[in-house]
Structure 1
Amino acid sequence: MTDLLELTQIMDGYKLRQIEVLTRPLRPGIQESRYRLMYHALANGDVHTEEEAAQLLGLDVKGRPFRRFLLEFRRRLYAPLLFLDTESSEQFNATQKANFECLRKLGIFQTLLHRKCFINAAMLAEEIVEIAAQNDVTLVALEMATYLKRYFVEQEPNPDKYRYYKVYVERFRFDWEAENKAAECYSAVIAPAIKKKSNQYDIALKSKELLNILEPYSNRCNTILFLAGYYGVMLTEKMSLFAWKKALDICDIAIERLRAKSCFSPRMIGFFMINKTTCLSMLGQYEEAIKLNIECADFEVYGSRGWFVNQDVQVSVALRAGEYSLAHSVAEKVISNPMFKLMPKIMHESWQILFSYISVIQSIGKVKLNANDNIVFQQFKLNKFLNDVPTYSKDKKGLNIPILIVQLLFLLHQKEYEQAHERLEALRKYRVKHFRYDAGNFRTQLFLKAITTMAGSAFNKKKFIKKSQPFIEQLRNTPIGYPDQHYKIEIIPYTLVWNWMVEMIDQ
């Protein structure tokens, strides 16, 4: 049902009335009211699964009538998308409105061509091509210019217009190739990092190799999509090397170039601002990072994927900065947002890790709740959590680290010392197996060495402090942005987590 839930979120009552008008007639035997009934049930959050949808309609979830209904219902939701009111919507800026207008008219243009209405097609193309060119809608601009170049030779010979559109075609063809190459390169370097946050030097090498491919385009192509992909690859290289200052500089350059354009893309600018927030955080500039991240939220549509990424970074920065009330309130906004359940599973895993740390913070009294605050995080269940993060549990030198640490925190808080001892022994073996001294993650190595001394101290506070102190002192002298560890691994500064553990164990 996720596909249908996604569609119903962008419809409104006016578009719903068009469903019966714009699409083919209903199949015999299906009541018209079923479509409205299902739409309202999905839009209001009354239906979340196919089983619930079938029950609402009084049909067998595995039966052919229900399957036919779902197919027809989905088809009827597509057509009204052409009539979304982007012009008066506050969610779209001028560039985005122009993009939608160009894409809608592209459909009309192609219909005119297929119906051999060549004059009307040319008139529409001349109107669209300039708007598309001004707003970097390269695909539409290329198709319009290509047709007009041919039209002013075959249909209405005009040498001046032919030469004019010939130049356009060459420009847009180059831009289209550059945009696709940049998107392809960015996808190639970002894909390995989606499920793995461990050593990323291989990603940095790949990024550098692909930058050499993009360089020939960089002097001639200045479209939004190319700039985003080009600087995205450049940024990925520096962030994969944990070179936070250099990555910060790249973000500033990309933002400056994107802002200098006549057409404005808040989504692309927001992408670099969010990454700039991360860089500031890793450089210890927390106050500036939080302020910038709050500004970033204005660049994203509420409930969109970009909005959830923005909130993820805001919670991460707040937790690192010790702003637990902020982290809690942002996490509450996320978990109560109806669009959250439509986000990719890998995004859910990332949030589950953040939720687990917020739950710990609540449990040990590090954040004060108001009477009307959501207590969902206090209902955290350790076994369920482990089932909710199957992908990152396999990322042994990456996000499995904060997963293991938060497990230990819960066990210590609940005074489950026998299980905690088993976990500490496992952590000791884990460190020996997965971390060589010269293989990066220096802060994590120090922290694991420090906390595994707890097992040998029989959970005696004084003995634990004495044995772990040398490692903790080294940690205190090693910046959190030490360049050998992904920024998502150390959710809470390790020295602070160590303090919590000292508070939790017996005398």
Structure 2
Amino acid sequence: MEEIKKLVRIITTRVKKNVSLIDVISHDENPSKEQQLFNGIQKGLYNTDDEASLGMYESDSTDQRFRMLKSRLRYKLYNLLYFVDFNDSKVNIGFPYEQECHSYIFRAKVLFKEGEYDLAEKHVNKALAISRESEFTELTLSGLRMLRLIYSELCRPNHLRKTLGRIKKYEELLRIEEEAESIFCMKKLQLQKSVHSRKTHLDSTLKSVQQLKSLWEKSKSFNVFERYYRLKIRSNELLGEFEGILEITGEAEQMVKSGTVNPLRFDMRYNVFIKTYAYLRAKDYKNGMIYAKSGLEHIGRSSRNWFSHMENYFLMALHSGDYVLAEDLIGQAYRNPHMEKISQRAKERWELYKAYLYFLMPNRDVEDVLDFSKIYQKLPFYTQDKQGLMVAIMILEFIDLMKKDKLDIALTKLPNTEKYIYRYLNENPESQREKLFLKLITIMVESSFNPTVAAKKGEKYFNRLKGTPEPGDAFAEIEIVPYEQLWEMMLQNMEHSFVKLDFGR
């Protein structure tokens, strides 16, 4: 009871008399103006300032009453951030532990200010138990520094001396972690700035990976390991060394199992995603699909990560020729009600996947399954942006026209193809595969869609295509269907629907 009595005294004398909060599940029959605005936004009634001001005051957003109302609501919503709950699977795996530590340390500081040193010590020790187990060095230091103050006030010299020694130890560890963080942040900036920047800083990135490895071996800190692990994966992506990613992700899994790497902090979801992606890029489809299926147990269906993982799983099925599995996977994706949460770009990729899949499915009438006019409306087919899925879109459109025997219309696309090659691909060594495949399409048109002639004229370019490896992750979108596979499929389609055209030659 003594502890409760102390808390009652502090709350009675210190808590603000009018704490401004919003009831997120309000059923009040007479809600305040702030509550009405919150409820309207929550229900999707107000999406803009003008809509909200019209609904609340029958005026536009310049109304001073609305501006003051919005300010009061903003203040109340920020107050609620203290009560945000991160105990779910959607956030960084270690954040709930970090949040709990902050909570205990904050309570300890309030209790210390009120002279309740014993209670403050109790909360600091709770924070330290979590922070040490979870390897939050900065929070551990914050707790130990609180203990330093508490033991000084309580006149406990032995406790103070022991705490000072622990502070020194963790300060040295934090120094190493800060060094690792600085290295990682600079490299992250350089590698995401532009393709030119990634190329320019690739060599120095490899040196930084070794620096981080040395710091990890010296400190055995999870925080340093994570930086080393992430940067090594990124550098392997840039180099196109996907076997290296399989190696480090496999090692990480073993280290988590053995306890060498902290299981409370290691994000197995990311490891599953990037390892599955590496299997795809390494073309190890058999092992990759087995791993991708087992990896689903680590990724919640309601997260965006699930859709990203399913993209890689689907592409492996497609590349391996298992179209039945690919159809099942794409069905799972479209039946997932959380698809609405993914980005527009991700939705566009899924539309392309669906279109390519049904072209590849044997004995499938594509027109019965897909409405390509709607797909074309959804996708940015005629964008002038050279980045992204433009080549995949151009190829899809051409294949669609071939399927429909609209070869005369396909002819009109040839100038656009040649223009695209000249404008975007000629001077880019990382686009050689795209350039070679579009050249094969040009040859197909020039051969009057005669499969025998096209195969003969295109043999040189097809062989060059087979000998040209895919660039690393930084430089290109992954091929939805390998170009070699697409070329053979297009030749087979021409065998069934060949129409001799008169080019006037």
Instruction: State TM-score, norm by structure 2.
Output: 0.75
Question: What is the RMSD of the two structures over their aligned residues, measured on CA atoms?
Answer: 4.3
Partner of residue 339, structure 1: 341
Post-superposition CA distance 1:219-256 (Å, at most 9, x none)? 23334332221111112122211112122111112232
1:379 aligned residue (374, 393, 409): 374
Partner of residue 239, structure 2: 241
Seen in structure 2, the aligned counterparts of structure 1 residues 339 and 427 have a Cα distance that, compared at 3 Å, is closer
Tell me the amino acid that sits aligned with residue 253 of structure 1.
Answer: E
- Distance in 1 (CA, whole Å) between partners of 2:193 and 2:389 is 9
Tell me the amino acid that sits aligned with residue 73 of structure 2.
Answer: F
SS at structure 1 position matched to 2:309: helix
Partner of residue 120, structure 2: 121
Post-superposition CA distance 1:427-458 (Å, at most 9, x none)? 442476223xxx34554443233223234334
Q: Does 1:275 align with 2:274?
A: yes
Post-superposition CA distance 1:45-81 (Å, at most 9, x none)? 5655555555554554523444444443343334444
SS at structure 1 position matched to 2:263: coil
Tell me the amino acid that sits aligned with residue 72 of structure 1.
Answer: R
Q: CA deviation at 1:384?
A: 4.9
Q: Is the 8 A contact 1:353 1:402 kept in 2?
A: no
Q: CA deviation at 1:381?
A: 2.4
Tell me the amino acid that sits aligned with residue 251 of structure 2.
Answer: I
Aligned counterparts, 1:269-348, within 5 A: 269-322=268-321, 323=323, 324-332=326-334, 336-340=338-342, 348=344
Q: Is the 8 A contact 1:203 1:240 kept in 2?
A: no
SS at structure 2 position matched to 1:168: helix
- Distance in 2 (CA, whole Å) between partners of 1:219 and 1:177 is 15
Partner of residue 446, structure 2: 456
SS at structure 2 position matched to 1:385: coil
Partner of residue 62, structure 1: 61
Q: CA deviation at 1:155?
A: 1.4
Aligned counterparts, 1:404-415, within 5 A: 404-406=394-396, 408-409=398-399, 412=402, 415=406
Partner of residue 418, structure 2: 425
Partner of residue 209, structure 2: 211
Post-superposition CA distance 1:452-507 (Å, at most 9, x none)? 323433444443233223332444466x6677985733221112222444427753
Tell me the amino acid that sits aligned with residue 496 of structure 1.
Answer: Q
Q: Is the 8 A contact 2:37 2:52 kept in 1?
A: yes
Q: Does 1:466 align with 2:456?
A: yes
Q: Does 1:498 align with 2:498?
A: no
Q: CA deviation at 1:280?
A: 1.1
- Distance in 1 (CA, whole Å) between partners of 2:364 and 2:244 is 38
Tell me the amino acid that sits aligned with residue 426 of structure 2.
Answer: K
Aligned counterparts, 1:129-144, within 5 A: 129-144=128-143
Partner of residue 355, structure 1: 351
Seen in structure 2, the aligned counterparts of structure 1 residues 431 and 160 have a Cα distance that, compared at 3 Å, is same
SS at structure 1 position matched to 2:219: coil
Q: Is the 8 A contact 2:98 2:131 kept in 1?
A: yes
Which segment drifts farther, 314-323 or 269-278?
314-323
Partner of residue 4, structure 2: none
Which segment drifts farther, 277-286 or 376-385?
376-385
Q: Is the 8 A contact 1:244 1:283 kept in 2?
A: yes
- Distance in 1 (CA, whole Å) between partners of 2:97 and 2:171 is 20
**Size of the alignment, in residue pairs?**
465
Which segment drifts farther, 224-233 or 302-311?
302-311
Partner of residue 73, structure 2: 73
Gaps of 5+ in 1: 1-19
Post-superposition CA distance 1:130-186 (Å, at most 9, x none)? 22111123332111112223433x313334322332343234334434444444444
Tell me the amino acid that sits aligned with residue 385 of structure 1.
Answer: P
SS at structure 1 position matched to 2:135: coil
- Distance in 2 (CA, whole Å) between partners of 1:47 and 1:377 is 34
Partner of residue 226, structure 2: 228
Seen in structure 2, the aligned counterparts of structure 1 residues 366 and 306 have a Cα distance that, compared at 3 Å, is same
Q: Is the 8 A contact 2:381 2:394 kept in 1?
A: no
Seen in structure 2, the aligned counterparts of structure 1 residues 130 and 483 have a Cα distance that, compared at 3 Å, is closer
- Distance in 1 (CA, whole Å) between partners of 2:197 and 2:459 is 27
Q: CA deviation at 1:125?
A: 1.3
Partner of residue 14, structure 1: none
2:20 aligned residue (16, 20, 23): 23
Aligned counterparts, 1:467-486, within 5 A: 467-476=457-466
Gaps of 5+ in 2: 1-16, 24-29, 500-505
Tell me the amino acid that sits aligned with residue 453 of structure 1.
Answer: I
Please say which structure displays the higher CA radius of gyration: 2
Post-superposition CA distance 1:352-387 (Å, at most 9, x none)? 2443342344477679799xx997987212585248
- Distance in 2 (CA, whole Å) between partners of 1:349 and 1:192 is 24
Q: Does 1:156 align with 2:154?
A: yes
Seen in structure 2, the aligned counterparts of structure 1 residues 214 and 360 have a Cα distance that, compared at 3 Å, is closer
Partner of residue 13, structure 1: none
Q: Is the 8 A contact 2:280 2:315 kept in 1?
A: no
SS at structure 1 position matched to 2:141: helix
Post-superposition CA distance 1:70-111 (Å, at most 9, x none)? 443343334444445667x68799965433321222332344
Seen in structure 2, the aligned counterparts of structure 1 residues 233 and 106 have a Cα distance that, compared at 3 Å, is same
Partner of residue 100, structure 2: 101
Seen in structure 2, the aligned counterparts of structure 1 residues 365 and 313 have a Cα distance that, compared at 3 Å, is closer
- Distance in 2 (CA, whole Å) between partners of 1:187 and 1:100 is 23
Post-superposition CA distance 1:410-442 (Å, at most 9, x none)? 56556332431122222442476223xxx3455
Q: Is the 8 A contact 2:121 2:150 kept in 1?
A: yes
- Distance in 2 (CA, whole Å) between partners of 1:367 and 1:137 is 58
- Distance in 2 (CA, whole Å) between partners of 1:120 and 1:481 is 62
Whose RCO is larger (CA < 8 A, sep 6+)?
1
